Every structure is written in structure tokens, then in C-alpha cells.
Structure 1
Amino acid sequence: MAIGTPADRVICFRCRHYTTPRTNIDTVALSQRFRSEYGPATMDMKEVAELLEAVDKDLEDYESEILLLQSRIMYIKAQQTQLKKHAAVLRSLRSPIRRFPNEILSRIFDFACDKNLLQEFPWSKDFKFVPSTPIVEPFRHLPAMSISSVCTRWRSVALSSPAIWSRISLELSPENSRLPNVQLVLSAFLYTVELHLHRSGQQPLTIELDISGALDAGNNVIPYQLLAFDLVCNYSWRSFTMGGYQPILRFPMPGFNRIRNCHSLENLRFVISGEPDDELELFTQADGLHSITLYMIGNLPTPFWTEIASLTVECMYGEIANVFNYASSPKELVLGEREDQDSDLSPCVPPLLCTSVSTLKLKLCLHWDDPLADIAFSSFTFPSLSCLAIVGSDELPYEGAWPKATLAAFLRRSSCNLTEFEVKSVSVSDIDLIAALKLMPSLMNLYIDDTHGGDDPMSPITSRFIRSLHGLHWTELRPSGSTLVPKLRELKLTFDGSQFDDSLFIEMVNSRWLPDTQYASGIGLSCLRVVTLRFNNREVDPAVYRPLDYLDKAGMMVVVLSGVDD
């Protein structure tokens, strides 16, 4: 067998020592033999056979080495994969979320779990009304269960946070109650309801109830019993919302006999159609009630409660002063008009004085002949008013007349010190808005959102409006040189158009940055502290707004966003 040179040596994969192949590959010598050796006298067949045998054995050895190397490579790659996973786990131990105290994590969960939607399942196929909420991914609607399924720590924190389990929205199908084996059919759904109730502990529940059906009694199925609702009636409530078109008293719910003593109830909302006179009598013992929302108010009797702090009415008829029949001295009053209702609202003459109202919000709709804003401003006198909001909906913006005269008369008559003013989805000219702001010298927070979907919307956020907010320059709308809203500390603008004077806005914000309190007091201005500018239909050029970055670093909170930043 030929002996290999040192250069031919290789390392044996099995024993890790050098080994020499049996075959010496000498192509020059072999070529010479091809040319010179022939015939029986010169050809040594035995030697050739031995060389071929050595080659075959070397090939077998190499093949074995290759197989062993491949096996070793696969093993090394597997080990590498495991090490990468191990490194990822180790890096996760350094994640900032792991350093959060459980108390902060619990607060985060509390904000994330605003509602757990428990929709009756299976939904009756014979019932022609579909569920109110289409569900594709159930766990997205069950935040408490989703959070508790992430890891051991999150589960422990979630189970020790009863508040996140206590917010339950029930969407029920009354048709299922007629099934003879309803308890068996709904066993999984009822177990989920019981699980949330059990984990809520002694925490008072926040309940939203929606029973599918129509307003027409002839098209409804009156259930014998709503099992899921009977379960929640065994617990105390903090908030109750009745939605849909079904009045509660249409259903034989024995559970309501157990919640009449509902002293923990704080918020009550009826967003069903019609006057809820009889339904409200179910909650006469809710002596802790401080917030109530009603779909409609007409000529209602004396209120059951005297401590209502917040009153919301979506629709009204009769005299507008009737809103105080259920809340004689509310601090917050929200009045709305709906696009699917006709107006039969009359003003109050003379204007009604209410010294308790500090917040007034008007939700306007174009469909009413007598605008709610004009009726409200001409009917009330609120000397304690500090927050005023005039808003339309994003879907149906208010494009009616701006209540210029009635608003001015209301502010002069009330002599209130407004500190916050909001205008959203309402068509108003910049001149009219500036005229209104002149009547609000104590204003500190100003929020303007011109988002609306009209064909030719009127936006108050113009160059003239921005120039009028300048802290130092005189304008044609300020001939006396007096500064508009001199106490302004927070400004939020949402701009729905495409043409905007960026440089003028930056100049105006700079003029309002007065960190030297002595100088600011000398010129009669307050330092602007918070600025939020949002564009719905245009991009933000960071280079253009770089001057505001310096103000942000100096102490002013500056946020500039575009619609794509969501």
C-alpha cells in the first residue's frame, strides 16, 4: 500500500488523531505507467488489484467520515438553535416589563380591560336578529382572560385584580330561553360568565346589557328567563347600562327583585328608545347614584335622587327645563339631539338660573328645525360654568348656523369664568370663533377640531385665526392690541384640511412661550405649556417643526401628529 506524505494526512473525526490514507494519488507516475506498461511481461495485475482495493477502502473511510461530519454538523446546528433560544430567554429577563412592580402592572391591566364582551353562545339560529357585535376573534373581546393566559406572573397579577373581571358586557338572545334544555345548551357560555363573576370577588360590577330584538313588540320573543342576567343580579353593581331597543320591564326578570337594594350603584345609563320612567323606578334605592344618562326626557316627575352630579340626555321634547326634573343640581350637563328624532323642544322663559352646573356639553345635529344650542343658551344662566363644549358627531357634523348671538348673550348673562372651551365637528367661521373667544378672557384650555365630512366645510383654523392667537402682534381683529385668551396654557388643534401656514403657527407658539413669570405677568400673558397639533390629511415635515423641538426640551409639551401616525 502506498504511503502518503505529511501533507496528505487528515484528522480522523472519530479519534481526533492524524491518519494517513492508504492511497498515494501521484498522477504523474500513473500517467507514465499508462504510456509505458503494456503486455503480460510488464503488467502486474496483483499490484493494480491491491491499489484498487486500497482506493475502495479509502472511499469507504471518507464516506464514513462525511456521514459522521454531517451528523456532527446537524448536532452543532441543533445546539446552536438551542443556544439562541436560551439567549433570547436570558435577554427577556432583562426586559423593562420584568422590572415593573406588580402594582404598576396591575394599573396597566386595569386600563387595558375596559370591557369583557360575553356574547351568548350558541346564538339561536331561529332568531332573526343578529348579535349587536360581530365577533371574529373572541379573545380580542375578552381582555381579562387574554392577559391572564400570557404567563404565570401575568396570571397571578390578573387574578389579584378583581376590577378587570368586573366590567362585563352581556349580549343576549331571548330566543334561547325557550329551549327545553337551555341550561345544557348554554353551559359553556354560563361557565364563562360565572368565571368572570367569581374572579371579580367583592368588586361592584360594571354591567352593560343588550338584548337583541326590535322596538315593535310583535316582532319580539319574550323570554321566560335570562340565565346570564340572573347570575349578575346576585352581585352588587357600580354601573348599569341598558342598550338596544328592549325596555327592561318587558322581560320577566326575577333578578331585579334582588338588586332593588343597590346602594353601590353610581352610574346609570339607559340608551334604549323611549322614556325610561318605569325602568328608573327599579333603582329608587340607589342613594349613591351620581351619574345618569337617558335617551329621552319629556315631562318627567320629581326626581328620586338629589345627588346627581352628571346628567346626560340624548334627546328631548317639551320644555328644555325638564332636564332638571331628574337632577336638580348637576355639576355636569350633557344635552344632545339625535338625527332620527323630530324636534319638539321649547325654550325656558325667563332663563332658568342654576348655580351648580360647571360643565356644559352640547351635541348638535343638523336635522332639528330649532337648534339645540340656541334653545339651551337662551334658556339657562350658569354663573358657575367653567367648561363649555359645542360638538357635532364625526359621522354627521353640524353644519347649521353658529349660535353667535345666543352664545354671546348667555356668556354675558351668566358672567361665568370659563377655563375650558371645545369646538368639534361644527361649521363655524374664524371671525365668529374669534368673537366668541373675546368673551372668554379667563380661558386656559382651548380645543378646536374641525373634522367634518361636508362637501364644503367651514373651518375656523385659518391663518387669520392663528395670527389672532399671537401673543405680541396686533391684528385686524384686535385693533386695540389686547391679547386674545391671555391666560391660555393648553392649545389643541385638529386640522382636517391640506393648506396650513406652518411658519405662522410656529411663530405664534413661540410668542406664547413665556417661562419668565415676572415678564409674563408684566405684559398680561400666561405661559403656554401644552401644544398639540394634529393633521388628518397631510404629512408632517419634521424639519419644518424642528424649532418646536427646542421648546419641548425647554419645558413646553409639544406634540405634532399626522393621520398616518396612528
Structure 2
Amino acid sequence: MTSSCTRCKPLRVNLSSEELSALDHDLRFEFGPSAVTPERAEEVRNLLALADKDFEDHVSEMARLEKQRAKLLSLISPMRKLPNEVLLCLFQHVCEENLLQCYPWPFRQKPPTEITSPVITYLPSMAISSVCSRWRELALSSPSLWANLVVETHTLESETSVGFADTVIRYLERSDGLPLRLKLAICGSANATEISSLIHLAQHAWRWKTLKYRGHYSLTGYGMPSEVRFPLLAELDITDSKELGHFEDCLRLRALSTWAVRPIPRVFYGTLEHLDFYGQSLNNVVEALRSCSRLKSLQSRHLQASKDELEQGVLGTWPNIVSLTADRASCRIMFSSLNFPSLNNLVVEGDQISWPSDAFLSFVSRSSCMITAFTLRDIFLEVLPALLHLEVDLVDPYPPPENPITPYFIANLIHDQSTSSIVPELDSLHLKYNSTDTFEDATFIHMVQSRWHKPGSDLSAGIMAMGRSCIRSVVLKFLSREVDAYVYRPLRILDAEGLRVVVAGTNGVQSIYSRVQQGSVKKEAVKKEKVKKRSMMSSNCIDMKGKDVVTAYIPSLNIERLVITAENASFNRLHPGGVLTGTKWIFYPNRSAYAD
């Protein structure tokens, strides 16, 4: 027997050694009461203690070896092959926001951002700098990772949250003088106590590049000095229009978002390129359009217009406007009163107001604009024959009556050679499905099969001769159900022919077909000619009971990409005539469409 440790060898206890051979013999051949004497028991207990020490030494040695093994593996890790420049690009993509929220939150109302994960997940810059020495060195030497801040605080900060201001200071120091992108939210009564974090942020106001502020009172009401200036500020999002005077020295302001009910300060007229407003009057908007010579993008909600203003007719043409975002109430007024001939991006946000079809048709005809991106919630697929990309992104769950991805919708996407199909040029279809009602997998598979034709085949040539395209990409993501890979097995055949398909569920990605075809798929020789001329199309709309209502004539639009976000939307049917709407839409001759 020896008392050496495992690092020095040999072991403390070894029953096979000569010293313990007698014990090994007794272990095999002695039995009965006389086999366990007090002396023998004491000797065995001492050996057990030594064996326990051997065991502890082995555990420590295994842990040491595991660490050495991990270090050796890290030397050949694929991550080590990434240059710092590439790794830093990934870090910058992740560190879009760093949420600094004062804790605890002393008010009954919830904080602006509800924390549902560990706090470190909301602080990507801090998390990255805690992974390893290389990542920490990169993070600390990259001020841009620390310059995107979301600060949520309150007037009781100094009393309840010790150290919060120090965290804000740490981020300000590590951003090292770079322009700051700041989102600021403050709760509580004005002039209550000094908010330390706000004072420190105000000391760096000279490098604020973007500011989004939400609070019960103005910044000056919460203690920000009135002499603070913002020479670098380029984007401002603020609710209280009375505070705009505090930013009149912002000569670099390019984007302004406000709930203003008063005219925009004239000092902004020469710099603004984007204007987002809520509750403005039509006259104020027209004044801003006439004065802001560089304005390119307009966003409007709850635009107001009197009867006299609407009776003035078209108030002017603004060729600089290329992007327009509006709710349908604002659209009705803008479509009737304004012309945007250069408009190429139109976003219509849904609500319960009926679609202003007459005003829209008149606007498109007057402006002669070429819309290339059209994002909306109530969709007329029949009038989008040039649509190439359709994406329906439904993150929030919808009950069956409101879910737009119905079997009827999928069935109407099926290519039927005997009849004209909606969106015949469709190249890619992306669906995110988050409903608990039944999804008809077989109908979806049939739809994909009907729109895919192997390149070079006689059927593919015939389809192209009919003016139809072949779908190239299909993505289906279930957010609240699993995927049976066996059910989607028929799509594997299409994979071998070149189609890209992704089917995923809560049990992970079950089907990924998107193998890179190297030389197996030849480029199609026929080039599709873009139809730039508006045509008149006829579509039969059928009501819920299946009865023909009317034939409506509506213009087709040359829109290539359509994204349906469907937040707070409640569309439920896609009529055979190609109408996917907030509710059920019916067209009558010489009348606007209405939703019931």
C-alpha cells in the first residue's frame, strides 16, 4: 500500500499489489463471523478513506484533462478560421439594440418592454464580451456595438435602482464618442427627482444621431437642461409636437415622426426627406409638401380633412415622393387630393374603413406611377398578374374565422390549365402559419405540384407559352404545430428537379430541399416580357353562399413583391375572383366596394 497521489503515481490503494494480497485472499475465501474482526474493520476503513482520496484525485484530474482537451480543440475550431472582420460584422448584426431597463419597476403599469428572458439576452454587447477573451477584445475595441441604446427609466430611479446610472455610463464610455442611436422612455411625474441616467445621456446629446422618445412629460420637464443642443441628430421620433421647438437647431434632421397637430417648423423644410405624422390636417400636409423640397417618403395616420378641403380637388403634384405609407382613412384623402407620379413603394395599413376603390383608381390613373412594391393587409390578388413574390407573415395566432391562410386560399393558388389562375407569374411563396385550426397538407402539396414543372420538359414549354411562370421557392413555417415529414414526402421528387422547398414546425425543420443544382438546371431561353401597360380585367366575385353577385372591372397592377403582415387584420376568405380581404368584399356596378 502507498499514499502517493495520482499525479505522482502510484495509487494509494491497489488490491492487486503484494502489500494487499492477504486482503485480496480474504476477500475471496474467508466468510463467517470470524472473518470481520475489529482490527480488520479498522484497517478496511483506512483503506476506504485512501480510496476516496484516489477517487477525488481522479475527478480533479479528469476535470483538468477536459479543460486541456477543450483548449486543444479550440485551436482547430472552425470559428478560429473566421477573420475578425467577418466576426465583427456578425456582432454588429446582433447588437442592433441594447436594452437598459431600470429595475425594479415601481409603477402598477408594465414597463415599455416586458422582460421575458434572462436580462443578458437583451444586452447583446455585454453577452458577447463575456464569451471568451477574443470576443471580449473584439467587443471592447468596437464602439459601434455599444452605441445602440434603448433606455427605459422612471423618476424613482435614484431611490430604487442602485447602479443603473453606472450601467448607462459604462455603455456611453465604451461607445467612445460615436454617434448614438437612442430610444428613450421615461415614466413618472415631472419635476419629481433628478433622473441620473437622463443627466448623463444629456451630457452626450451632442452625439445623438437618432432619437425616439416616449414619456408622460417633455424631456425638459424631466430635468433635461433647455440649453442642450443636438448637432448630429438626423432622425427624430417624438409624440408631443410642442417639443419640436427644442430641436430647431438640428440642421441635419432628415426624418421626422410626430403626432403633431400643428404646422411643422419651417427650419426643417430644407432638410427633411422622410415625414411621419399622426392627426395632421390636409392643409398642413400640403404646406409641408410644398415647402420640403427634399421630401421623398411620407407616412400618414388619421389624416384629417374638412368637407371644404376635399371639395378643392387635386391640390398639386409632387414628383419627389417615391414612398407612401398610410392607413385607409388617410389613403382616401390622399388619393383624392394629391398626385405622386414617381411613387414606387405603397404601404396601406388596414382598419375597419372600407377600401376607397374609386379614389385609388383615380389616383393611379392621374399619377401614372409605376408601383413596384405594394405592402398591405387587404389584398386583391386578381389584379396583381405580375406578382413574383408573395409572403404572408402571421406571427400572432388567429382564431379560425380570422386566419387568412384558409384551405380556400390555398386551393385558389392551384394552377388549372383549363382556367386562368391568379398570380400566374408567382416565383416564390413564403407562408408563416400560427393557427391551431387544421391545415390541409394535401391541398398545399397539390398546389406546389401544380405550379412546378421540370425545366426543359414539354409541359414546361407549354406552360410558358400560355404566359405562366414556374414557382422556384416555397417556404412553409408552422409556429404552433409539428410537421410530419412523411406527409410532405412527395415534395422530395421536386427537389431532385430543382425546386427549393422548406417545411418547418415546432419539431424543427423536417424538410429542407434546396440542393444547389450545378449545371443540371439550364437557364430558360425565353425571357418574360414585362407588361407595363395597364389592362382591364374581369373577375367574378362570389359571396359566402356561392351565388354570383356581379362582374367587376378593376385594373391590373405591375407589382412584383407583396408582403402581407396581417397584424390586427381579420381577413377570412379569398374569393374566386381573387379578393383576399379584411372581411368579405363585394363589388357592385358604379359603387365603391364595401366590407360586411
Is TM more than 0.5 here?
A: yes
2:13, 2:50 within 8 Å by CA — same for their partners in 1? no
- Between the aligned partners of 1:78 and 1:258, the Cα distance in structure 2 is 60
Distance 1:55 1:130 in 2: 72
Structure 2 match to 1:160? 141
Counterpart amino acid of 2:381? L
Shift of 1:205: 0.8
Tell me the TM-score normalized by structure 2: 0.66
Q: 1:94 & 1:82 partners in 2: Cα distance?
A: 19
Q: Give the 3-state SS of the residue equivalent to 1:296 in structure 2.
A: coil
- 2:17 is aligned to 16
In the alignment, is residue 240 of structure 1 matched against residue 211 of structure 2? yes
C-alpha distance 128-62 of structure 1, shift in aligned 2 (>3 A): closer
CA–CA separation in structure 2 for the residues paired with 1:224 and 1:410: 50
Q: Contact 1:116–1:169 at 8 Å: present in 2 too?
A: yes
| 1:267-416 equivalence runs, <5 A | 267-270=235-238, 272=239, 274-276=240-242, 278-279=243-244, 282-287=247-252, 289-300=253-264, 302=266, 304-319=268-283, 321=286, 324=289, 327-328=292-293, 330-337=295-302, 347=310, 349-350=313-314, 352-363=316-327, 371-392=329-350, 398-416=351-369
Render the CA deviation track for 1:500-550: whole Å, top value 9, x for unaligned.
Answer: 443333333344446749947644344434333344555433223333455
- Structure 2 residue 417 is the aligned partner of structure 1 residue 473: yes
Asked if structure 2 preserves the Cα contact closer than 8 Å seen for 1:418 and 1:443, the reply is: no
Q: Rg larger in 1 or in 2?
A: 1
What do residues 10-63 of structure 1 show as CA deviations (whole Å, max 9, x unaligned)?
x994993377649998xx9x99xxxxxxxxxxxxxxxxxxxx999887777666
Corresponding residue of 1:151: 132
Query: Aligned to 2:241, what secondary structure does the other structure show?
Result: coil
| CA distance, structure 2, for counterparts of residue 21 and residue 176 of structure 1 | 75
Aligned partner of 1:372: which letter? S
RMSD of aligned alpha carbons: 4.7
Residue 441 of structure 2 corresponds to residue 502 of structure 1? yes
**Residue in structure 1 matching 2:224, options 235, 253, 257:** 253
Contact 2:191 2:222 in 1 (8 A): no
Which string of whole-angstrom CA distances, capped at 9 and with x for unpartnered residues, describes residues 300-328 of structure 1? Answer: 46462445443322443455646636755
Q: Which segments of 5 or more consecutive residues in structure 1 lack a partner in the other structure?
A: 1-10, 32-51, 180-184, 365-370, 393-397, 476-480
Which of these residues, 172, 178, 201, is aligned with residue 203 of structure 1?
178
* 8 Å contact kept, 1:297–1:322: no
> 1 CA distance for matches of 2:175 and 2:194?
27
> Is the CA contact (8 Å cut-off) linking 1:311 and 1:327 kept in structure 2?
no
Q: Which residue of 2 aligns with 1:44?
A: none
- Cα deviation per residue 1:420-466 (whole Å; 9 max; x = unaligned)? 33334xxx5xxxx4xx3343344333233567788784555444544
Q: Where does residue 383 of structure 2 map in the other structure?
A: 439
Amino acid at match of 1:171: E
Report how far residue 105 of structure 1 moved.
2.0
**CA–CA distance in structure 1, aligned partners of residues 271 and 201 of structure 2:** 28
Change beyond 3 A, Cα 1:423–1:236: same
The CA deviation at 1:200 is 1.1
Partner of residue 106 from structure 1, selected from 77, 82, 88? 88
Secondary structure of the residue aligned to 2:280 is strand
1:116 pairs with one of 84, 98, 102: 98
Corresponding residue SS for 1:443: coil
Partner Cα separation in structure 1 for residue 71 and residue 40 of structure 2: 46
Retained in 1: the 8 A contact 2:208–2:233? yes
Q: TM-score, normalised by structure 1?
A: 0.69
Please say if 1:229 is aligned against 2:201.
Answer: yes
Q: SS where residue 268 of structure 2 aligns?
A: coil
Q: How does 1:168-183 map to 2 (within 5 A)?
A: 168-174=149-155
Residue type of the alignment partner of 2:168: V
Task: Tell me how many residue pairs correspond in the alignment.
Answer: 485
Q: Is the Cα contact below 8 Å between 1:420 and 1:446 reproduced in 2?
A: no
Counterpart position of 2:489 = 546
Identity %: 29
* Unaligned runs of at least 5 residues, structure 2: 1-11, 510-596
After the TM superposition, which residues 78-89 of structure 1 pair with which residues of structure 2 at under 5 Å, given as runs? 78-89=60-71
Aligned residue among 45, 54, 59 for 1:72: 54
Cα distance change on mapping 1:544 and 1:167 into 2, 3 Å: same
Distance 1:354 1:90, change over 3 A: same
2: CA distance, partners of 1:385 / 1:290:
19
Check whether the contact 1:229–1:255 (CA below 8 A) recurs between aligned residues.
no
Distance of 2:381 and 2:367 partners within structure 1: 15
1:419 corresponds to which of 367, 372, 383 = 372
Q: CA deviation at 1:165?
A: 0.7
Quote the Cα distance in structure 2 between the aligned partners of 1:168 and 1:267. Answer: 15
